Amino acid sequence: MVDRQLRRRGIRNERVLAAMLEIPREEFVTPDTRVSCYGDWAMPIGHGQTISQPYMTALMAEALELTGGETVLEIGAGSGYAAALLGALAANVVTVEIVTPLADLARENLRRTGRDRNVTVIRADGSTGFPEMAPYDAISVAAGAPEIPPALLEQLRNPGRLVIPVGGYGHQDLRVLVKDGAKVSDRVAAGCLFVPLRGADGWR
Ligand code: SAH
């Protein structure tokens, strides 16, 4: 997975590549999809939601440029896999999940793999962020938003980095926003396809 899907497509950050090797993806998927869980695709995790393709998870983590001391907010815990990865790259991770059984699943997967040491799962609507633990050095949104939720930029530290898929149901741009001083830069890292971000500042 790391050589064929990640290195070959341009993931260069060695900490990200090492973390992708370290996190046991099979512990975050359903029993019937375990055999194919290192494949180059997203997979169903129940409740109409998916665990992202490994490349997309790695690309998002790389875009955050984590060095180890950061506090990170993830929106859309799903299986807890990406949160475990972020936990291996940063000091603390808060991951928010709107679907209660998936919040429970993420919590259980993180506990079983010993990744709950620095990763906390919150059952809530994350489209307005999670102000209780703000500011965050980095924010990763794992569901497609119609627009960038203003609360997420407010809860981002200065300097800080936000990665978020923005667009319609059939296609989104993976956008990387970097807050630095008075400026916020905004670039498109890739085209992508995520499940919709629901909630107050998502799709109603
Ligand atoms: N990061 C996950 C993949 C998540 S898929 C993994 O590695 O497995 C996107 C998730 O976002 C879904 O679980 C969905 O329920 C959740 N979601 C959608 N809208 C949300 C919202 N407003 N707040 C929190 N979670 C949300």
Determine if ligand 1 sits within 6 Å of the CB of residue 102: yes
Render each residue's pLDDT in the chain as its tens digit; 204 residues: 999 999 999 999 999 999 999 999 999 999 999 999 999 999 999 999 999 999 999 999 999 999 999 999 999 999 999 999 999 999 999 999 999 999 999 999 999 999 999 999 999 999 999 999 999 999 999 999 999 999 999 999 999 999 999 999 889 999 999 999 999 999 999 999 999 999 999 998
Q: Which residues, other chains included, contact 182 with Cβ-Cβ below 8 Å and sequence gap of 6+?
A: none
CB 27, CB 112: distance < 8 Å? yes
Atom of ligand 1 lying closest to residue 78 CA: 13
10 Å CB burial of residue 168 (0-12, 13-18, 19+) is exposed
SS (H, E, C) 62-91: HHCCCCCCCEEEEECCCCCHHHHHHHHHCC
Q: Which residues, other chains included, contact 14 with Cβ-Cβ below 8 Å and sequence gap of 6+?
A: none
Mutate to test the pocket of ligand 1, among 20, 64, 73, 97 (most ligand atoms within 8 A of CB): 97
- pLDDT tens digits, one per residue of 64-120: 999 999 999 999 999 999 999 999 999 999 999 999 999 999 999 999 999 999 999
pTM for the model stands at 0.98
Q: Which two tokens stand for residue 34?
A: 């375990």
Mutate to test the pocket of ligand 1, among 20, 51, 75 (most ligand atoms within 8 A of CB): 75
CA–centroid distance, residue 182 to ligand 1 (Å): 31
pLDDT of residue 169: 83
* CA-closest residue to ligand 1 atom 13: 78
- Tell me which residue of 12, 28, 9, 148 sits closest to 87, measured CA to CA: 28
10 Å CB burial of residue 3 (0-12, 13-18, 19+) is exposed
pLDDT of residue 29: 98
Atom of ligand 1 lying closest to residue 50 CA: 5
CA–centroid distance, residue 110 to ligand 1 (Å): 15
Determine if ligand 1 sits within 6 Å of the CB of residue 71: no
Beta bridge partners of 180: 183
CA–centroid distance, residue 163 to ligand 1 (Å): 14
Helix, strand, coil percentages (3-state) for the chain, rounded to 5, are 35, 30, 35
Specify the amino acid at residue 121.
V
Determine if ligand 1 sits within 6 Å of the CB of residue 99: yes
